Amino acid sequence: RKEVEQDPGPFNVPEGATVAFNCTYSNSASQSFFWYRQDCRKEPKLLMSVYSSGNEDGRFTAQLNRASQYISLLIRDSKLSDSATYLCVVNWGDSSYKLIFGSGTRLLVRP
């Protein structure tokens, strides 16, 4: 089983759509969770941390289910500029520094 698993997509949605990405992780000791965004041939950029209670940042909502070891990202009112690859990221077990990256889910928002 992969340490962090994501559907590679691509998700092809029209502008204004709501789209959800899911991710599962294998190490139940993990404590820190993130979504990163990566544009083509660029560095990954931190989109948001994911907290147990769920958190929202504008059009983006992240949820964590520790029991199921499952993380989600919801994007509402998609914009063309949201087109990118979204990386699910988890710290490795109780490590204070090692991050494990999923392979990413590609999103294409069309006009």
Residue numbers at the binding site for another protein (CB under 8 A): 4, 31-32, 34, 36, 41-46, 49, 87, 89, 91-92, 95-104
Minimum CB distance to another protein smaller for 45 or for 66: 45
CA torsion angle 30 35 37 43 (round to 10): -30
In this structure, what token pair is assigned to residue 53? Answer: 């209670």
Q: How far is the CB of 95 from another protein (least distance, A)?
A: 7
Which lies closer to another protein via its Cβ, residue 44 or residue 61? 44
State the minimum distance, in angstroms, from the CB of residue 9 to another protein: 12
Closest CA to 107 of 3, 6, 4, 24: 6
Backbone angles phi, psi at 54, to 5 degrees: 80, 150
